[in-house]
Amino acid sequence: MKSRFLPLLMTFLVFSAMYLFAYSQFNSFGSMRIVGNLLRDNAFWGIAAIGMTFVIISGGIDLSVGSVIAFTGVFCALMIDRNGWDPLATFTLMLCIGTAFGALMGVVIHYFKIPAFIVTLSGLFLARGMSYVLSTESIRIEHPFYEQISDLVYVFPDRGRFTFAAAMFLIVLVVGIFLAHYTRFGRNVYALGGNPDAALLLGVPVARTTIGVYALNSFLATFAGIVLSLSKQSGDSTIAVGLELDVISAVVIGGTLLTGGAGYVIGTFIAVMTLGTIQTYLTLDGSLTPWWIKIVTGFLLFAFVGLQRLLGSGWGIFGVKDSSANVPPERQPGIQSS
């Protein structure tokens, strides 16, 4: 029961139950139209959630993602629509700015020993304030490149649509899984979240990993803002307010341990799709207010935090509870008292 796979299994079971219930009420949930819409509608915040997964696995938190997404949209709209910049050049510059912003927060967190909550809260206000300084109005983006992107759609036989945003979501998912579980950086992130002191003794580059985690998260938040601007063909400084809370909720519901050291990127993806399924069901039902999604999210969040508590706090690097955590050193295998 204390296997590292249990939270992921519970997430999958919750998603399966939700989707089967929705399918029993609306047969359209068995079509690619719903699947395509789920991927498209949840793409931008799902991408941000994948980045947040790395941060929480490392034992940190980032409250700035929603503001970074809003700033990205406004910046791209101003540069492309108002100043006539090339979209690809604008995206490249914005990704560099976003990555540097995240890296700067990582530097402050590690070297100045300031809690990540405070540093990223400052980042939230800074990015949101800058987006308001740029513009307080929604800016429509009219550019041939945006029109071409909107035309990149694969239509299934049942008229379901697989869009550019959905494709980007799945690509980021695959890259995130590979990065977390098949690279040295991923192993360092797990080690850092499991026990920072032990990770340092084992030779893990703690400073570089911490900075890299926040840089990666901000990069993906910026990329999510670009995907959102391409989908909506506009930039708005008031968008994604409070999104960071939804993103953190999805990561926790996806089975990632809040204290770090355990979690799966695929679990975050399943959680995003679960919340998207609930939202779609409420929309189709029409008799329930959309605010029920907040109630269900709160219930699931409480349930998964309770599950984490039941599993205990002595999880190792890969999410398995370390039974030797409370055993004196002289009684642990391979260690003899002097």
Number of domains in the chain: 1
Contacts of 247 (CB under 8 A, 6+ apart): 45, 48, 49, 52, 65, 66
Model pLDDT for residues 212-256, shown as the tens digit of each residue: 999 999 999 999 999 999 999 999 999 988 899 999 999 999 989
pLDDT in tens, 42-86: 999 999 999 999 999 999 999 999 999 999 999 999 999 888 899
Q: Report the C-alpha gap between 60 and 120 in whole angstroms.
A: 10
Mean pLDDT, to the nearest integer, of 159-182?
A: 95
Residue 62 domain flag: yes
Judge whether residue 304 has pLDDT over 70: yes
Look up the domain containing 324 and give its range: 6-331
**Residues in CB range of 174: below 8 A, 6 or more apart:** none
CATH number of the domain that residue 217 is part of: 1.10.3470
From 94, 66, 101, select the one nearest 80 (Cα to Cα). Answer: 94
> Is 336 inside any structural domain?
no
pLDDT tens digits, residue range 174-220? Answer: 999 999 999 999 999 999 998 888 888 888 899 999 999 999 999 99
Determine the Cα–Cα distance for residues 292 and 298; give it in Å rounded to an integer. Answer: 10
Mean pLDDT for the stretch of residues 309-332:
46
Q: Is the whole-model pTM more than 0.85? A: yes
Chain centroid, CA 310 distance in Å? 25
At 306, list the tokens: 């309770």
| Model confidence at 319: pLDDT above 60 | no
Strand-pairing partners, residue 162, are 154
CA distance 132 to 239: 11
Residue 247 within any structural domain of the chain: yes
Query: Is 258 inside a domain boundary?
Result: yes
Structural domain includes residue 133: yes
Could you tell me if residue 1 is inside a domain?
A: no
Contacts from 77-81 at CB under 8 Å and sequence distance 24+? 77/135, 77/139, 77/140, 77/141, 77/229, 77/234, 77/235, 78/134, 78/135, 78/139, 78/235, 80/141, 80/143, 81/139, 81/140, 81/141, 81/142, 81/143
What is the number of residues in the chain?
A: 338
78 occurs within a structural domain: yes
- 337 in any annotated domain: no
